[in-house]
Structures are given as C-alpha cells and as structure tokens.
Homo-oligomer: A and B are copies of this chain.
Amino acid sequence: MITLTATEENYLKYIYQLGEAQSGLVKTNDLAYKLEHSAASVTDMLKKLADKKLLTYTKYYGVSLTKTGLHIAKKVLRKHRLWETFLAKNLKFTWDKIHDIAEQLEHIQSDELTDKMDEYLGFPKFDPHGDPIPDKQGNISIPNVICLADAKLKKQYILQNVNDDSAIFLKYLNKIKLQLNDKIKIIDKEEFDETMEMLINDKMRITISNDAAKNMYVKSI
C-alpha cells in the first residue's frame, strides 16, 4: 500500500475533478490555476506522479489518471465528503465553514477510520452540498440534475446540489435562507441579465442573479 503526501493527494483529487467534466484529460495550466501554484511547479509534480504510475503524462499535451490514481482520487473525495457530512450533520457547522476543515481531514490516513465514519453516518450517498460520496468500492450515485440557470419558467424543482468551491457563495445561501431540498418554482426570468425570480417552498419569494443560478443544480418534480 503506497502512502502519498497531502500535496500528492490534492493533485490527484483536482485532476479527477477537472477531468470529470471532460474526457479525463487535464492541462497543466488548468491545474496550476486550481491549485494556485505556478505552472512550473505543476509540471514538476506531474512528472513525479507519472513516475509513481498514478497518472499518464504526455509533454505539452496533458495528464489523465491511471486506475490506481483514479482510485486514490476517489478515496480522497470520499473522505472529504464524509467529513463534511459529519461536520454539518453532527457538529452543526454551517455549510460555508465545512469545506476548509474537510480539506484538512481528507488527508487523514486510515481506511478503518473512513469506513467506521461511513457507518457512523449511516452510509450517506450525498454530502451537505449535494455532491455524491463514493462508497468503499468507489461507486458514485449520479444525481439526475440540471443547472438552475437552465431551468424552465413556471416549472417546479428541488434544490439538489450547490457548488462548494466558494465560501462566499455558501455564506450568501445562508443569508437568503436557501437550503438543499428546498422546493423552487421559477416565476420569472429577466431577459436582459437572466436574473431569476423564484418561489421557495411555496412561500418565500426571492430574486437571484444568473451568477448565483449557475452554482446551483436542481431536479424537476
């Protein structure tokens, strides 16, 4: 069993997340931007991880994870999302605070701990942001969602997933009292700037910008 540093694990995690959107191929610069490191540092690390057979690296072209690399990336994500669930559900943290702490906790090395936490939490399938939690085998439940920005007028939806990248955005959701599983009815969409007017849980009327809508995912009902 190979043990990686927190840094190496983060590389694999972000490569996985960036690759998820597309074919699995990730460019040096995109990673550098995500990690907030110089492209040169990223190149260095990619070579190192390629030597360890965790990814395949082709100069000037990009990287993609090997089977082993993918497995580790999912495990890190699994730990991250299990910890987020614990922080939110059990410790009553607000969701704008859990991400940063989970970024640390995801690197704790103990499979037994991970699995006991999973059991302790009742084998949750989604974390507090609505993101799927990989199970012990790495299986992921894929929720059938669309972006709120693409939601149709007059239709009804349930808020399933929010983007957890930005604490500012999550703080904003706290402020407007919008929560996961809330019922959303699209009342109006302004043509000019795509601002949306919505009815939440059949009683609260709110207006959100297109920027905000782009960070939310809903399931139609």
Contact = CB atoms under 8 A, between A and B. Distances in A.
A117 interface: yes
Given A87-B113, A104-B108, 10 more contacts: A90-B120, A91-B113, A91-B117, A91-B120, A93-B112, A100-B110, A101-B108, A101-B110, A101-B113, A105-B108
A92 interface: yes
A91 B113 CA distance: 8
Interface string A112-128: 11001100100000000
A97 interface: yes
Contact of A116 (B93, B112, B116): B93
Interface of A: 87, 90-93, 97, 100-101, 104-105, 108-110, 112-113, 116-117, 120
Contacts of A104: 108-110
A219 to B, nearest CB: 31
Copies in the complex: 2
A60 B104 CA distance: 38
Q: Which of A92, A100, A110 has the most B CB atoms < 10 Å from its CB?
A: A110
Contacts of A97: 112
Contacts of A91: 113, 116-117, 120
Contacts of A87: 113
A87 B115 CA distance: 12
Contacts of A113: 87, 91, 101
19 contacts: A87-B113, A90-B120, A91-B113, A91-B116, A91-B117, A91-B120, A92-B116, A93-B112, A93-B116, A97-B112, A100-B110, A101-B108, A101-B110, A101-B113, A104-B108, A104-B109, A104-B110, A105-B105, A105-B108
Contacts of A93: 112, 116
A101 B107 CA distance: 11
A90 B90 CA distance: 12
